[in-house]
Amino acid sequence: MDEFDLIRRITPTETHQRSLVMGIGDDASVYQPHSHCEEVVCVDTMVEHVHFRFDFSTPFEIGFKALAVNVSDIAAMGGTPKYYLVSIAIPPHGDETVVSALYEGMKALADTYQMDLIGGDTVATHSDFIITVTVIGEVSKGKACYRHSAQTGDIVFVTGELGSSAAGLSLLMNELDSPKAVDTAFFLERHKKPQPHIAAGLICSSYSRVSLNDVSDGLASELNEIAEASHVTIEIDANKLPIHPDLPVLRKDWLEWVLFGGEDFVLTGTIPQADWDSFEMQCRKKDIQVKRIGQVKGDQAASVLLKDNEQQTMLMKKGYNHFKK
C-alpha cells in the first residue's frame, strides 16, 4: 500500500464546516473559528491488543470507536465537534482493506455530526496498529463545563445506562454463560460502537454551572475526578443507578461493572438543585435518559460515597488505568 495513494483515498471530496479555509493538501490545515466560541481540543490513542482486537471487532467498528471516544470528550465539555485528525501507525498485517475500513468507520460517525477530516499522519510500524485521533470542537464563550464546578447541595446525575459496555466486553472474552433470554447483541453493540452524548452536553452547557465528565474509566473514577477538582464529597445511591434490565441476569455482582467497568461514554456530573427540574425537562424533550443518582454533600475531604441501603462505602478512584495491572 502506497502512503500517498492512501492519503488520496481518505481525503474527503466534500466538506461540512464553512469555517474550513484549507483542508488536506498542505503542510497543515487552516480554519477560521467563530468569534463567539472557544475552541475545545482533545486527543486519544488506541493501541492494538490494549484497546482493541481484530478478533473482537471489525475494522469498521474499531475506527468508529476510535473517533467516538474523542467526540465523547467534546461532549463532556459541553461542546460541538467540528474537525478531526488521524495519525495511524500501520503494521505488516494492516492491508489496504483493513485500513480503508478503519477510516470508513470514523467517517460514519463523523458524518453524524458533520465533522471534517482535516489531516493527520501515516507511518509504518513493525508491531501493532496505533491509532491516534485528535478532535477539535467549539463551545460558546464562557459555557464550557468543568470538573471543578461542583458545589454543596448540587444534584449528581448520569445521562444513560451504566455497565453495559463492560458486560459486552465480558461477553466477548467468554467470561459469561450468556442466558438465551438475554439480548447479548445490545451489550456487544454498546461496547463496540459507543454513542457520544453530544446533545446532553449541549444542554448542560446552557446552564450557568454544571460540572461534567464522560464515563470512560468507570463511574467511580469519573466522580472522584469531579470531587477532587471541586474539593467536595459526593454521595450516590446504589438503588438509583440506571442499568439495562438484563444486566443482573448476566452477572449477580453487576454493580462492579456499573462502578468500575467504564467505556459507557454517558455523561455524569452535578447541577444546582434549583436547575434540576428545568434540566430534566430539557433532556426529556430530546429523549435523553437523565437520572438523578445522588448529591454533593459538602466540602470536606474530596471523596465519593456509595449508599447501598443502610451501608455507606467510600469508592476508590478505581477504573481502567494504563499504568496499573
pLDDT score at 176? 87
- Residue with the bigger pLDDT between 300 and 216: it is 216
133-161 burial, b at 16+ Cβ within 10 Å, e below that, comes to bbbbbbbbeebbbbbebbeeebbbbbbbb
Q: Which amino acid is at 152?
A: T
Q: What residue numbers does the annotated binding site cover?
A: 27, 44, 51, 73, 103, 120-121, 147, 214, 216-217, 263, 320
- Residue with the bigger pLDDT between 27 and 154: it is 154
Q: Which of 88, 95, 99 is nearest to 122 (CA)?
A: 88
pLDDT digits (tens, 9 = 90+) for 169-209: 999 999 987 677 888 999 999 999 999 999 999 999 999 99
Average pLDDT over residues 159-172: 96
Which listed CATH number (3.30.1330.10, 3.40.30.10, 3.10.110.10, 3.90.1150.10) goes with 3-140? 3.30.1330.10
Q: Give the range among 52-61, 91-100, 149-158 with minimum mean pLDDT.
A: 91-100
Q: Which amino acid is at 287?
A: D
- Residue with the bigger pLDDT between 176 and 68: it is 68
How many percent of the chain have pLDDT more than 90?
Answer: 81
Question: What is the C-alpha to C-alpha distance for residues 189 and 201, in angstroms, rounded to an integer?
Answer: 22
Q: What one-character DSSP code corresponds to residue 302?
A: S
CATH 3.90.650.10 for domain 147-314, yes or no, is yes
Cell of 44: 486519544
The radius of gyration of the chain's CA atoms, rounded to the nearest angstrom, is 20
Q: What residue numbers does the annotated binding site for ATP cover?
A: 103, 120-121, 147, 216
Q: Is 75 helix (H, G, I), strand (E, B) or coil?
A: helix
Q: What residue numbers does the annotated binding site for Mg(2+) cover?
A: 27, 44, 73, 121, 214, 217
0.95 cut: is pTM over it? no
pLDDT digits (tens, 9 = 90+) for 116-132: 999 999 999 999 999 99
Contact 196, 74 (CB under 8 A): yes
Cell of 211: 460540572
pLDDT score at 325? 44
Strands in 210-266 per DSSP E: 211-214, 233-237
pLDDT score at 321? 44
Contact 290, 199 (CB under 8 A): no
- Residue with the bigger pLDDT between 55 and 1: it is 55
Cell of 101: 475500513
Q: How far is CA 18 from the centre of its chain?
A: 26
Q: What residue numbers does the annotated binding site for substrate cover?
A: 51, 263, 320
Contact 137, 265 (CB under 8 A): no
Q: What one-character DSSP code corresponds to residue 123?
A: E
Q: What one-character DSSP code corresponds to residue 79?
A: -
Residues paired with 236 in a beta bridge: 294, 306
Average pLDDT over residues 253-267: 96
Task: Note the maximum CA span of the chain.
Answer: 64
pLDDT score at 113? 96
Apex 269 CA angle, 42 and 71, nearest 5: 25
Average pLDDT over residues 14-40: 82
Whether the pLDDT of residue 49 is over 70: the answer is yes
Q: How far is CA 98 from the centre of its chain?
A: 24
Whether the pLDDT of residue 145 is over 90: the answer is yes
Question: What is the C-alpha to C-alpha distance for residues 240 and 307, in angstroms, rounded to an integer?
Answer: 10
Burial of residue 288 (CB within 10 Å: 0-12, 13-18, 19+) is middle
List the domain boundaries for the chain.
3-140, 147-314
pLDDT digits (tens, 9 = 90+) for 264-308: 999 999 999 999 999 999 999 999 999 999 999 986 779 999 999
Whether the pLDDT of residue 76 is over 90: the answer is yes
How many percent of the chain have pLDDT more than 70?
Answer: 94
